[in-house]
Structure formats: C-alpha cells, structure tokens
C-alpha cells in the first residue's frame, strides 16, 4: 500500500536494500556499493563481492583472496603471502604484483617471489 515497485526492462536489475544499495551492471562488470564504503569496479576477468561488515575479495585470474572481519588473512596462490590487519581497506592485485594498504600507511608493493607482512601502526617488510 505504501511501497512502490519499479521494474525495469529486460537486461537490467535494480535492487534496493534497507541500508545499502546494490547496483549490478551489464555484461562483464560488477558494481557493488557497500554501506560504509564507496565503490569497487572490476573489469572483465574479475569478480568482487563486498559484504556489510567483512570484505571478501575474490579474483578469478588464478588467485584466491580471503579477507575476514577480525583477523584479515589474504592468501594468494601466485607465490606470495600477504597479511592485512583489521582496519585496512583495499587489496588490489594485478598480474604479478600485490598491493597492500595498511591502516595508517599508504602502499606496499611486492614483486614475484616476496612475502610481506604489515603491522597495524608500523611497517615491517620481510622479504623471503
């Protein structure tokens, strides 16, 4: 009685939740907006899913990434080990690189055969 439902045309889906918005775009892109976070846009060969209180990043190009809420563990399969802490925001992987953003620090870039560990308020870089 007090709700309105708008159904769009054949190739689009628009879904509104109570406190967060989910926009799903066409063919090879996924756009997910979280409640307290802004936007993650991926291109053709990647899929990204963001939950409300925990972030899960899963890439499809031969890599597996897992990010939990209280203990953030990101496990990649391309000869790399990366550990993120609780309040760290974004992990973006390219072909042979891993980018790791810490809470109070900016960016750490590792190359193929190295493992990096960041602490919460200080930087520790340990290369194997």
Instruction: Give pLDDT tens digits for 1-46.
Output: 444 444 433 333 444 333 333 333 332 233 333 333 334 433 333 4
Is 19 among the domain residues? yes
pTM above 0.85, yes or no: no
Structure letter (DSSP) for residue 124: -
Q: How many residues would you count in the chain?
A: 128
**Three-state DSSP state, 60:** coil
In a domain, 47, yes or no: yes
- Residue 37 forms part of a structural domain: yes
Q: Is residue 84 part of a domain?
A: yes
What pLDDT does residue 14 have?
A: 40
d(CA 51, CA 27): 22
24 within domain boundaries: yes
The dihedral formed by the CA atoms of 108, 111, 115 and 121, expressed in degrees to the nearest 10: 0
How does pLDDT run across 85-95, given as a tens digit for each residue?
A: 333 334 444 33
Domain count within the chain: 1
| 84 contacts 56 by C-beta, under 8 angstroms | no
What pLDDT, on a 0 to 100 scale, did the predictor assign at position 2? 43
| Distances from the Cα of 110 to the Cα of 13, 27, 31, 80, angstroms | 39, 32, 27, 9
Give the dihedral sign, CA 40/24/71/93. Answer: negative
Per-residue confidence band for 98, with pLDDT thresholds at 50, 70 and 90:
very low
Q: What is the mean pLDDT of the chain?
A: 38
Q: Which domain holds residue 70?
A: 13-117
Q: Tokens 């900016």 identify what position?
A: 106
């Amino acid at each position: 009685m007090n709700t309105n439902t708008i159904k769009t045309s054949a190739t689009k889906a628009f879904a509104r939740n109570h406190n967060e918005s989910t926009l799903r775009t066409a063919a090879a892109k996924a756009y997910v907006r979280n409640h307290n976070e802004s936007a993650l846009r991926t291109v053709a060969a990647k899929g990204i899913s963001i939950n409300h209180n925990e972030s899960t990043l899963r890439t499809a190009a031969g890599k597996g990434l897992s990010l939990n809420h209280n203990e953030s563990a990101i496990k990649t399969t391309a000869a790399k080990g990366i550990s993120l802490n609780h309040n760290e925001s974004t992990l973006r992987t390219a072909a042979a690189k891993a980018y790791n953003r810490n809470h109070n620090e900016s960016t750490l870039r590792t190359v193929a055969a190295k493992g990096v560990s960041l602490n919460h308020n200080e930087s520790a870089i340990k290369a194997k």
